[in-house]
């Protein structure tokens, strides 16, 4: 499974939570992040491999079953990693790279992004994560919201998710993160699969 | 004790392994991908952990502790070992009095470094044993072996990891408890061992060669090296993360996985090679193992089809394997390459970054910044750079850094250009942590040799790029205690710099005046630019917005390279969720039409 987005969106923590849930459920896990230097703004991707025995921490091209994209361009960037029939869940948000702001490059349109993902993905689901989180008043919980969406397709018990999320989130925002996770589960069930 | 499985990074596992092995002193200078080793070990109350000023000092402190009979650990990134190589070589000569493990985290693929180097060569150079874990469980387990080897063979041990081992997480069962070995802390007087006068160093020299022979004997039967009998047709010799990739690509092959990669077990390798039809070596970076095997007379290939540069992955090994006619078991991916056509997203200086203002000033004075449709101008100023977040100032639109090679190099390079007769006052830009790491000696040198250069120390009061580690200027220890702070201004004055100015990082007018003054003043000058790092600091403040009635879309605000300032369909706006607000205000100062205002007053959409 690939989790993609930009620095500051909580990708690394999302990968950690997913990995720990899978370990707790009795699976072998390897998890690795690819991020450039500095704190924010760059592309970030977390590879999480789950199985009975996992060797390589890096996922090979064409081997991704589930792509969790926190930002549209960053989801499209990894489209070629999807296995035929894979599921792509993409937060319907565009964060413009500097080159686009400066007018040197063009941000791809929605149809282009869908097209890239549809080359392999069996299902592409756009989800208004940012809007739902604004309703919940917790803009920083995108990572657990997206994990909530993914959890519907994964064989792990909900209490495990709640447990591991609680372990990672400080007490004052714990409950609101659980709410965001549950909202993600609800939201993904609501949207129609394209 | 049966511990539950934990998901740990290689660095966490190294720290826990060292802790359980009884480490009492741990030192490091932050550097990706090694930083977390010390961060994790610093959490244990019964370990002394410090951020040292640089890797050389870190090595010396750890060696001192080892001389005092205490198990110690020193950790660094690959280029850190270049800095620490002097005491490292010395430690290899004197040996130790209690276990000393040196963690070197290499960065194949250059994710976050200035070069790609294979530090396995250091083990051969220093003639010390080297261990290479292949996942987090081994990172944990190998630490116990490393300390045992260190003490048994009287040598520092090199624990070599790579980014993919240090930063990957995998399951670890931490079976051991913390055990403190040895007796009381104390120094054993032994001039012939601890004082490397030539006469004593000459006595140590044959002992090192004998040590290597004994270590190679140990390697023959060491559990660190493991053989898996698979099919006879193919035998793979490998180590580190390359082992994981190779198991996936060649699941049916026989394997000799080397956990100890120096010195090598000759008999074990020869026997393995005799029992298979074809031997290949799968290793990242240099043909370190391959050439050793060839020198033993073993017929082997590897680098003929596996790249010498960059990070490996299963796809690369599979492609190489197919080219070499090997039985590759993973399917050829139907690649649809689109990634190259999409806009790139390189890392940027953060919104509210205290480096942005100075770089905007250098960019405009240096004629680097230019509006989207304007023609490039001839650059002015020469700006030698250094290593830190501020190296990002080299990227457009700022484009205000002209060199960056290694820690502390900016000042020496500027002096070199000055002495070469470049005909202008060269500007050296260096961060506070980097200045303390290795900028002080070149400053002493520049004062002594009467350099006419302008030095800018960007003081954001942290080691930001590696994730906000403390340094001697912060007055906070690695374990969160308040400690003595080394103040930059008296330090610089004490070295003999007369022209020292301290400027706030968010005042463009003052920054510009200070740079102009520095460029015009006759001698060596130092500007200390002070402003707190914005990342990780949550401030309650009003974000800025653009008053569209005043804005004429000139694009000047885009030239500061702030990620919060965005432009869509020719309309410039500020993303209020990203803007640092009152703490920064750089865009407000550069806007020629005063169109940037606090969000609440503008009525403009954030």
> Considering only CB atoms, which chain A residues are within 8 Å of B354?
none
Instruction: Output the pLDDT for position A139.
Output: 84
Instruction: Output the pLDDT for position B492.
Output: 98
**Distance of residue A69 Cα from the nearest chain B Cα, in angstroms:** 15
What's the burial of A111, exposed, middle or buried (CB within 10 Å: 0-12/13-18/19+)? exposed
In B, minimum Cα distance to A105 occurs at B343
Overall CATH class of domain B225-323: alpha beta
Interface predicted TM-score (ipTM): 0.94
End-to-end CA distance of chain B: 56
Number of H helices, E strands in chain B: 22, 22
Q: Which of A6, A55, A62 sits opposite B244 (nearest CB)?
A: A55
Please tell me the CATH code under which domain B5-221 is placed: 3.40.50.970
**Distance of residue A165 Cα from the nearest chain B Cα, in angstroms:** 14
Give phi and psi for B534, each to the nearest 5.
Answer: -85, -25
- Using 50, 70 and 90 to split pLDDT, how confident is the model at A30? very high
- Using 50, 70 and 90 to split pLDDT, how confident is the model at A98? confident
Domains of chain A: 2-190 (3.40.920.10)
Single out the residue of B561, B183, B70, B181 nearest to residue B357, CA to CA: B561
- Using 50, 70 and 90 to split pLDDT, how confident is the model at A194? very low
| Mean pLDDT estimate for chain A | 91
Please tell me the CATH code under which domain B544-602 is placed: 3.30.70.20
Cis peptide before B33 (omega within 30 of 0): yes
Residues 16-55 of A with CB under 8 A from B: 16, 19-20, 23, 28-43, 54-55
Instruction: Output the pLDDT for position A62.
Output: 87
**Distance of residue B100 Cα from the nearest chain A Cα, in angstroms:** 29
Are B561 and B332 in contact, with CB atoms under 8 Å apart? no
Write out residues in chain B with pLDDT < 70, as ranges: 1-2, 183, 333-340, 536-540, 569, 601-606
CA separation for the pair A111, A131 (Å, rounded): 21
Does the distance separating the beta carbons of B245 and A55 come in below 8 Å?
Answer: yes
CA separation for the pair B140, B488 (Å, rounded): 39
Instruction: Output the pLDDT for position B604.
Output: 45
- Sequential DSSP letters for B410-470: HHHHHHHHHHTT-SS--EEEEEHHHHHHHTHHHHHHHHHTT---EEEEEE-SSBTTTT-B-
> Considering only CB atoms, which chain B residues are within 8 Å of A163?
none
A8: left (phi over 0), alpha (psi -120 to 50) or beta: left
Q: pLDDT of A109-147, one tens digit each?
A: 999 999 999 988 889 999 999 999 999 988 889 999 999
**Distance of residue A78 Cα from the nearest chain B Cα, in angstroms:** 7
B356-530 topology per CATH: Rossmann fold (3.40.50)
CA separation for the pair A168, B392 (Å, rounded): 31
> Considering only CB atoms, which chain B residues are within 8 Å of A61?
315, 333, 335
**Distance of residue A48 Cα from the nearest chain B Cα, in angstroms:** 9
Selected for mutation to probe chain B from A70, A98, A142, A173 (highest B CB count within 10 Å) is: A98
Instruction: Report how far apart, in Å, the C-alpha atoms of B365 and of each of A123, B56, B374, B381 are.
Output: 52, 37, 16, 8
Does the distance separating the beta carbons of A23 and B5 come in below 8 Å?
Answer: yes
**Cross-strand pairs, A125:** A89
Does the distance separating the beta carbons of B111 and A34 come in below 8 Å?
Answer: yes
CA separation for the pair B122, B160 (Å, rounded): 10
Q: pLDDT of B565-580, one tens digit each?
A: 988 767 899 988 889 9
Asked if domains B5-221 and B225-323 share a fold, the reply is yes
Q: Tokens 């770089």, residue?
A: B359
Q: Tokens 């069930």, residue?
A: A189
Q: Is A173 on the interface with B (CB under 8 A)?
A: no
In B, minimum Cα distance to A75 occurs at B339
What would the two tokens of residue B513 be?
């005046």
**Distance of residue B4 Cα from the nearest chain A Cα, in angstroms:** 9
Residues 79-118 of A with CB under 8 A from B: 79-80, 84, 96-108, 116
Instruction: Output the pLDDT for position A138.
Output: 87
Strands B454-459 and A123-127: unpaired
CA separation for the pair B570, B556 (Å, rounded): 13
Selected for mutation to probe chain A from B164, B315, B338 (highest A CB count within 10 Å) is: B338
Are B206 and B250 in contact, with CB atoms under 8 Å apart? no
Residues with Cβ within 8 Å of B274's Cβ and at least 6 positions away in sequence, in order, are none
**Helices marked H in B31-111:** 36-41, 55-67, 78-83, 85-94
Q: What residue ranges do the domains of chain B occupy? A: 5-221, 225-323, 356-530, 544-602
Instruction: Output the pLDDT for position B606.
Output: 39
Q: Which helix or strand (DSSP H or E) is residue B50 part of?
A: strand B48-51
Instruction: Output the pLDDT for position B334.
Output: 63
Q: pLDDT of B381-406, one tens digit each?
A: 999 999 999 999 999 899 999 999 99
> What are the strands, taking DSSP E only, across B135-195?
157-162, 169-173
Q: Which helix or strand (DSSP H or E) is residue B597 part of?
A: strand B596-598
Size of interface A-B (CB pairs under 8 A): 169
**Distance of residue B331 Cα from the nearest chain A Cα, in angstroms:** 9
Does the distance separating the beta carbons of A96 and B567 come in below 8 Å?
Answer: yes
> Considering only CB atoms, which chain A residues are within 8 Å of B135?
30
DSSP state of B285: S
Does the distance separating the beta carbons of A37 and B347 come in below 8 Å?
Answer: yes
């Amino acid at each position: 499974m690939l989790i993609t987005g930009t620095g500051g969106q909580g990708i690394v923590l999302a990968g950690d939570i997913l990995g720990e849930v899978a370990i707790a459920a009795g699976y072998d896990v390897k998890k690795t992040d690819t991020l450039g230097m500095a704190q924010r703004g760059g592309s970030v991707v977390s590879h999480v491999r789950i199985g009975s025995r996992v060797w390589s921490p890096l996922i090979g091209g064409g081997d991704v079953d589930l792509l969790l994209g926190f930002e549209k361009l960053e989801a499209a960037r990894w489209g070629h990693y999807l296995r035929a029939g894979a599921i792509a869940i993409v937060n319907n948000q565009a964060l413009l790279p500097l080159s686009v702001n400066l007018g040197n490059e063009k941000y791809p349109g929605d149809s282009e992004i869908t097209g890239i993902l549809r080359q392999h993905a069996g299902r592409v689901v756009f989800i208004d994560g940012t809007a739902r989180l604004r309703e919940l008043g917790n803009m920083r919980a995108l990572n657990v919201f997206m994990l909530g969406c993914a959890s519907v397709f994964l064989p792990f018990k909900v209490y495990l998710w709640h447990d591991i999320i609680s372990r990672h989130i400080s007490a004052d925002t714990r409950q609101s993160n659980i709410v965001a996770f549950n909202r993600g589960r609800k939201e993904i069930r609501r949207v129609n699969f394209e | 004790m049966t511990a539950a499985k934990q998901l740990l990074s290689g660095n966490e596992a190294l720290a826990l392994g060292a802790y359980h092995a009884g480490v009492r002193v741990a030192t490091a200078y932050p550097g990706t991908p090694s930083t977390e080793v010390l961060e994790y070990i610093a959490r244990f109350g019964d370990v002394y952990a410090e951020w040292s000023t640089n890797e050389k000092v870190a090595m010396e402190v750890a060696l001192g502790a080892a001389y005092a009979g205490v198990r110690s650990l020193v950790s660094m990134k690959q280029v850190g070992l270049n800095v620490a190589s002097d005491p490292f070589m010395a430690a290899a000569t004197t040996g130790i009095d209690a276990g000393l493990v040196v963690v070197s985290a290499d960065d194949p693929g250059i994710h976050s470094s200035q070069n790609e180097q294979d530090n396995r060569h250091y083990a051969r150079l220093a003639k010390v044993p080297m261990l290479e874990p292949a996942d987090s469980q081994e990172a944990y387990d190998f630490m116990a072996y490393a300390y045992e080897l260190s003490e048994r063979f009287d040598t520092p041990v090199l624990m070599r990891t790579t980014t993919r081992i240090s930063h990957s997480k995998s399951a670890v069962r931490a079976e051991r408890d913390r055990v403190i070995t040895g007796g009381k802390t104390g120094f054993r007087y032994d001039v012939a061992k601890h004082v490397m006068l030539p006469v004593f160093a000459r006595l140590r020299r044959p002992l090192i060669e004998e040590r290597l022979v004994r270590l190679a004997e140990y390697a023959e039967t060491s559990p660190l090296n493991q053989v898996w009998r698979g099919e006879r047709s193919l035998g793979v010799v490998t180590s580190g993360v390359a082992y994981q990739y190779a198991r996936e690509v060649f699941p049916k092959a026989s394997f000799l996985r080397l956990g100890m990669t120096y010195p090598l077990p000759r008999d074990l390798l020869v026997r393995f090679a005799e029992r298979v039809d074809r031997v290949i070596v799968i290793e990242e970076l240099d043909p370190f193992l391959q050439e050793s095997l060839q020198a033993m007379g073993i017929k082997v290939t590897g680098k003929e089809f596996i790249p010498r540069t960059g990070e490996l992955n299963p796809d690369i090994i599979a492609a190489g394997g197919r080219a070499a006619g090997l039985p590759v078991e993973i399917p050829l991916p139907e690649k649809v390459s689109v990634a190259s056509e999409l806009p790139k997203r390189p890392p940027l200086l953060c919104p509210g970054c205290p480096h942005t203002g100075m770089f905007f000033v250098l960019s405009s004075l240096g004629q680097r910044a230019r509006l989207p449709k304007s023609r490039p101008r001839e650059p002015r100023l020469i700006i030698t750079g250094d290593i830190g977040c501020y190296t990002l100032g080299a990227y457009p639109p700022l484009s205000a850094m002209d060199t960056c090679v290694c820690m502390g190099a900016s000042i020496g390079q500027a002096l070199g250009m000055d002495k070469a007769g470049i005909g202008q006052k060269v500007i050296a830009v260096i961060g506070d942590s980097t200045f303390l790491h290795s900028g002080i000696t070149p400053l002493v040198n520049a004062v002594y040799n009467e350099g006419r250069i302008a030095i800018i120390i960007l003081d954001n009061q942290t080691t930001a790029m590696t994730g906000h580690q403390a340094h001697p200027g912060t007055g906070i220890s690695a374990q969160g205690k308040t400690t003595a702070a080394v103040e930059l201004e008296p330090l610089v004055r004490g070295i003999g710099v007369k022209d020292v100015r301290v400027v706030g990082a968010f005042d463009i007018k003052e920054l510009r005046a200070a740079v102009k003054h520095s460029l015009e003043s006759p001698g060596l000058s130092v500007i200390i630019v002070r402003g707190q790092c914005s990342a990780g600091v949550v401030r309650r403040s009003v974000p800025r917005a653009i008053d569209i009635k005043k804005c004429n879309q000139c694009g000047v605000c885009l030239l500061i390279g702030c990620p919060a300032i965005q432009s869509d369909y020719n309309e410039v706006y500020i993303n209020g969720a990203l803007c640092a607000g009152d703490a920064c205000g750089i865009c407000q100062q550069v806007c020629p039409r005063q169109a940037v205002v606090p969000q609440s007053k503008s009525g403009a959409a954030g």
